[in-house]
Amino acid sequence: MLDKNQLLRFTTAGSVDDGKSTLIGRLLYDSKSIFEDQLQAIENTSKKKGHDGVDLALFTDGLRDEREQGITIDVAYRYFTTPKRKFIIADTPGHIQYTRNMVTGASTANAAIILVDARHGVIEQTKRHSFIASLLQIPHVIVCINKMDLVDYAEESYNRVIDQFEEFSSKMLVKDVRFIPISALNGDNVVNRSENMDWYQGAPLLHTLETMHISSDINKVDTRFPVQTVLRPQSDEHRDYRGYAGRVASGIIRVGDEITALPSGFTSKIKSIDTFDKTLEEAYAPMSVSITLEDDIDIGRGDMIVRTKNQPETSQDIEVMLCWLNNSPAKPRAKYTIKHTSNDQKAMIKEVIYKYDINTLDRNKVDKDLKMNDISKVKIRTTKPLMVDPYRENRTTGSIILIDDATNETVAAGMII
Amino acid sequence: MRKYYLNYLDELESEAIFVLREVWAQFDNPVILFSGGKDSIVVAHLAKKAFYPSKIPFPLMHVDTGHNFPETIKFRDDTIKELGVQLIVGSVQESIDQGRVAEEQGKNATRNALQITTLLDAIEYNKIDCAIGGGRRDEEKARAKERFFSHRDDFGQWDPKNQRPELWNIFNGKHFEGEHFRAFPISNWTEMDVWNYIKRENIAIPSLYFAHEREVVWRQESWIPNSEYLVLEDHEEIVTKKIRFRTLGDITITGGIESDADTLEKIADEVSGMRKTERGNRSDDKRSESAMEDRKRQGYF
């Protein structure tokens, strides 16, 4: 592979019948990412189950319970590589009870593939998936109109879905939407261009994924460097070294930049940007580096180094779009541990402003219980200030999770408004 | 104009370094599980980078089945010396001698499953709260569901249906006394990525990965090396072949492939043309469709 090849993470959401597993199987199979012994295993299972031919969908089965029940329960990650890019698929179940898994898969994705059955058009599930994609600010959405073979590859079916989609998505914040007519079962417009749909002038799915411009997806403007840990080597050679280790969350850091350490407010200048291999003149997201400063100031894990001229908001009160992930509902005014970048604090959900009905996208201001899979707008107060940016501008400094101290489980994920 | 994006290997490296630093920041007593195989070698290399100019601030731990390739043990000891870190050894032979586990019987008996007890005992004895492993999600279908930070209960068990959701890059390593975590910094790497990275970084690996002449026997579709533990069946015969290993496990169960690849370039080329998964040569995974899931639930790597 070439040195400039990038990594693209995408998510696919779908339920049992919409052909999601077949599509993933097709992408892996046609890009020669399925190995012979894996194919052999699928062939054996297909035969055992009495299926005609090889059921590509079986490739995505993971845990024993999933194989037995024929459903996806959890997020599974799949990998394939083409001469142009490396791909990571977050394969998530699409049923309403698994909204939390869809949110999880969407949280790191550059792109979302939303499958629509050409026969049925846009249905509630399509709206749910699109809503989650917009909520999690996935930069690119690809609507695949699948099963075109079952509607005689008719352009009208394709156009109908586009009209339906554009009508309901006008309220959402999706930056880049594309539509591709496919048949995952037969391979039309997945890897290879379809010979059955001359009327479609666009690129097949894989080509779209390979060429989509993703370098601009990361915020290059607002410099944010959450400190993970401090490196103080106990060796004669590096006796005075004090490096702040972390991964650039956004923006570009240059040697000589005037910086402020938050929350203390102390200022200094970047003295060096170090890695094992070399010292750098500049670093950008998502690079892991170690930074040294001109002045000896007190900085530790949970602090954030930012450019003095461009600072995040520092606040103990944040408004958050919160997705509840746990079986036990939120307890009113209970305390949770909040994690935001490398910072841990205690926090309390002070108020539920409204809850979304995830199927109609209506706002419910009466029922305010936070139960598993609920998505709600809430106010949170923390014991100490957090350094935050709005999620739509910064996925790293705009996201939080809540942990229940009684169980240590991750109970909620939030996007700062 | 200057480019401001990373290529895929740099992005994977940066992600792994981020995970390793999170482990160090969130746990009191982590270790790297080091088998001398290529994946754990890459993890140790990444740890060296993550904490530079400091040394790796935690020990390496080896679960020693006693059925090793001699080359692997030498490589392990050389690595410890080079990195200047402590080595902790959990010995399966000791577990057997103490009656904690019993040797498997029968023709395909291995010590693979016995490692679980030794590993969990070593974790408990050394009060380890996070064991960092080289597991990758592309290896096997149960591993495809793993988190970067994976919780183990106080019996060391994994509950795949009840895992903590892991969003963005926020990792929740909170745990109660007696529980521990497994962390997988190279979760998102594939076998090919590992080889491309080893090649790019010119990382030293055991000679077993390079094609060499060796006495072997054909068993379960691969070349099993001759060793003092090998019990020949009537119809089997020992031959000398030019082979190399794609993965390294116990000498009793790790099958080699016929190959002429004796440089990193040739290995990377060969792997990119492979049509079988690397674990296809591991008889421990061939026992049933959920062999890996079952072992992982009990506390396997």
Identify the pLDDT of residue A61: 62
Q: What is the mean pLDDT of residues A41-65?
A: 70
Peptide linkage before A263 cis (omega within 30 of 0): yes
Q: How far apart are CA A125 and CA A103, in angstroms?
A: 14
For residue B152, pLDDT beyond 80: yes
Looking at this protein, which amino acid is placed at residue A340?
A: H
- Residue A147 domain-assigned (yes or no): yes
Tell me, yes or no, whether B136 and B211 share the same domain: no
Identify the pLDDT of residue B115: 85
Count of domains forming chain B: 2
CATH number of the domain enclosing B105 = 3.40.50.620
Identify the pLDDT of residue A239: 83
Identify the pLDDT of residue A106: 93
Tell me, yes or no, whether B117 and B44 share the same domain: yes
Tell me, yes or no, whether B222 and B276 share the same domain: yes
Q: How far apart are CA A58 and CA A39, in angstroms?
A: 10
For residue A1, pLDDT beyond 60: no
Tell me, yes or no, whether A100 and A184 share the same domain: yes
- Residue B201 domain-assigned (yes or no): no
B91: distance to nearest CA of chain A, Å? 30
Residue A196 pLDDT level (bands cut at 50, 70, 90): very high
The answer to whether A135 touches B167, Cβ cutoff 8 Å, is: no
Tell me, yes or no, whether B164 and B223 share the same domain: no
Beta-ladder partners of B215: B240
Looking at this protein, which amino acid is placed at residue A271?
A: K
Q: How far apart are CA A133 and CA A173, in angstroms?
A: 9
Torsion of CA A273, A278, A283, A288, to 10 degrees: -90
The two structure tokens encoding residue A105: 């898969």
Tell me, yes or no, whether A27 and A126 share the same domain: yes
Contacts 24+ apart (CB under 8 A), A275-278: A275/B49, A275/B52, A276/B48, A276/B49, A276/B52, A277/B49
Q: What is the mean pLDDT of residues B130-156?
A: 90
Tell me, yes or no, whether B22 and B153 share the same domain: yes
The answer to whether B247 touches B37, Cβ cutoff 8 Å, is: yes
Please say which residue of A217, A239, A263 terminates a domain: A217
Would you call B147 an interface residue with chain A, using a CB distance cutoff of 8 Å? no
Tell me, yes or no, whether A157 and A19 share the same domain: yes
Q: Which of B167, B129, B127, B128 is nearest to B147 (CA)?
A: B167
Tell me, yes or no, whether A240 and A298 share the same domain: yes
B173: distance to nearest CA of chain A, Å? 9
Compute the radius of gyration of chain A from its Cα atoms. 24
Identify the pLDDT of residue B38: 94
Count of beta carbons in the 10 Å neighbourhood of residue A235: 11
Question: DSSP letters of A61-125?
Answer: --SHHHHHHTS--S-EEEEEE-SSEEEEEEEEE-SGGGHHHHHHHHTT-SEEEEEEETTT-S-HH
For residue A44, pLDDT beyond 80: no
Which A residues, 282 through 311, put their C-beta within 8 Å of a C-beta on chain B? 284, 286-288, 290, 301
Q: What is the mean pLDDT of residues A7-33?
A: 82
Q: Which of A354, A375, A373 is nearest to A363 (CA)?
A: A354
Q: What is the mean pLDDT of residues B111-131?
A: 90
pLDDT tens digits, one per residue of B26-35:
999 999 999 9
A89: distance to nearest CA of chain B, Å? 10
Beta-ladder partners of A380: A318, A349
Residue A124 pLDDT level (bands cut at 50, 70, 90): confident
Provide the pairing of β-strand A6-14 with A111-117.
parallel
Residue A136 pLDDT level (bands cut at 50, 70, 90): very high
Q: Which of A242, A344, A249, A228 is nearest to A306 (CA)?
A: A249
DSSP 8-state symbol, A149: G
Tell me, yes or no, whether B53 and B143 share the same domain: yes
Identify the pLDDT of residue B93: 84
CB contact under 8 A, B7 and A3: yes
Tell me, yes or no, whether A295 and A379 share the same domain: no
Q: How far apart are CA B278 and CA B270, in angstroms?
A: 12
Q: Which of A230, A280, A67 is nearest to B160 (CA)?
A: A67
Would you call A215 an interface residue with chain B, using a CB distance cutoff of 8 Å? yes
Residue B222 pLDDT level (bands cut at 50, 70, 90): confident
Which B residues, 69 through 128, put their C-beta within 8 Å of a C-beta on chain A? none
Would you call B203 an interface residue with chain A, using a CB distance cutoff of 8 Å? no
CB contact under 8 A, B14 and A290: no
For residue A7, pLDDT beyond 70: yes
The two structure tokens encoding residue A101: 């898994």
The answer to whether B167 touches B138, Cβ cutoff 8 Å, is: no
Pick among B19, B49, B52, B186 to test the A interface (most A CBs inside 10 A):
B52
Which residues of chain A does B175 touch, with a Cβ-Cβ cutoff of 8 Å? 408
Tell me, yes or no, whether B54 and B143 share the same domain: yes
Count of beta carbons in the 10 Å neighbourhood of residue A75: 26
Q: What is the mean pLDDT of residues B88-106?
A: 84
Please say which residue of A185, A217, A249 terminates a domain: A217
Map residue A19 onto helix, strand or coil.
Answer: coil
Mean per-residue pLDDT over chain A, rounded: 89
The two structure tokens encoding residue A146: 């699948």
Share of chain A above pLDDT 70, in %: 93
CA angle (A348 as vertex; A342, A349 as ends), nearest 5 = 110
Helix (H) or strand (E) holding A178: strand A176-181
Q: Which of B192, B232, B196 is nearest to B216 (CA)?
A: B232
Tell me, yes or no, whether B112 and B247 share the same domain: no
Which residues of chain A does B199 touch, with a Cβ-Cβ cutoff of 8 Å? none
Tell me, yes or no, whether B72 and B107 share the same domain: yes
- Residue A1 domain-assigned (yes or no): no
Higher pLDDT, A19 or A122: A122
Tell me, yes or no, whether B274 and B294 share the same domain: no
pLDDT tens digits, one per residue of A281-291:
999 999 999 99
Peptide linkage before B70 cis (omega within 30 of 0): no
Tell me, yes or no, whether A191 and A104 share the same domain: yes
Identify the pLDDT of residue A366: 85
Compare CB distances from A6 to B7, B22, B50 and report the shortest one's residue. Answer: B7
Domain that holds residue A328: 313-416
Give the number of residues written for chain A: 417
Question: DSSP letters of chain B?
Answer: -------HHHHHHHHHHHHHHHHHHH-SSEEEE--SSHHHHHHHHHHHHHHTTSPPSS-EEEEE-S---HHHHHHHHHHHHHHT--EEEEEHHHHHHTTSS----STT--STTHHHHHHHHHHHHTT-SEEE----TTS-TTGGG--SEEEE-TT----GGGPPP--TT-------TT-EEEE-TTTT--HHHHHHHHHHHT----GGGS-EEEEEEEETTEEEEP-TT----TT---EEEEEEESS---TTTBPEEE----SHHHHHHHHHT--S-GGGGBGGGSS-TTHHHHHHHHT--
Residue A234 pLDDT level (bands cut at 50, 70, 90): confident
- Residue A240 domain-assigned (yes or no): yes
Q: Which residues are CB-contacts of A363 (< 8 A; sequence separation ≥ 6)? A: A354, A355, A356, A357
Tell me, yes or no, whether B101 and B236 share the same domain: no
Q: What is the mean pLDDT of residues A162-166?
A: 93
Which A residues, 260 through 279, put their C-beta within 8 Å of a C-beta on chain B? 274-277
Tell me, yes or no, whether A19 and A63 share the same domain: yes
Residue A127 pLDDT level (bands cut at 50, 70, 90): confident
pLDDT tens digits, one per residue of A310-358:
999 999 999 999 999 999 999 877 889 999 999 999 999 999 999 998 7
Q: Among A178-192, A193-207, B218-232, where is mean pLDDT lowest?
A: B218-232
Count of domains forming chain A: 3
Looking at this protein, which amino acid is placed at residue A391?
A: Y
The torsion angles phi and psi of B47, rounded to 5 degrees, stand at -65, -40
- Residue A14 domain-assigned (yes or no): yes
Identify the pLDDT of residue A361: 79
Domain that holds residue B46: 8-193+290-298
Q: How far apart are CA B189 and CA A119, in angstroms?
A: 38
Give the number of residues written for chain B: 301
CB contact under 8 A, B55 and A235: yes
Tell me, yes or no, whether B41 and B157 share the same domain: yes
CB contact under 8 A, A410 and B166: yes
The answer to whether B65 touches B114, Cβ cutoff 8 Å, is: yes
B96: distance to nearest CA of chain A, Å? 31
- Residue B75 domain-assigned (yes or no): yes
Peptide linkage before A286 cis (omega within 30 of 0): yes
CATH number of the domain enclosing A259 = 2.40.30.10
Q: Which of A178, A269, A278, A262 is nearest to A225 (CA)?
A: A262
Map residue A335 onto helix, strand or coil.
Answer: strand
Burial environment of residue B211 by CB neighbours within 10 A (0 to 12, 13 to 18, 19 or more): buried
Please say which residue of A197, A217, A237 terminates a domain: A217
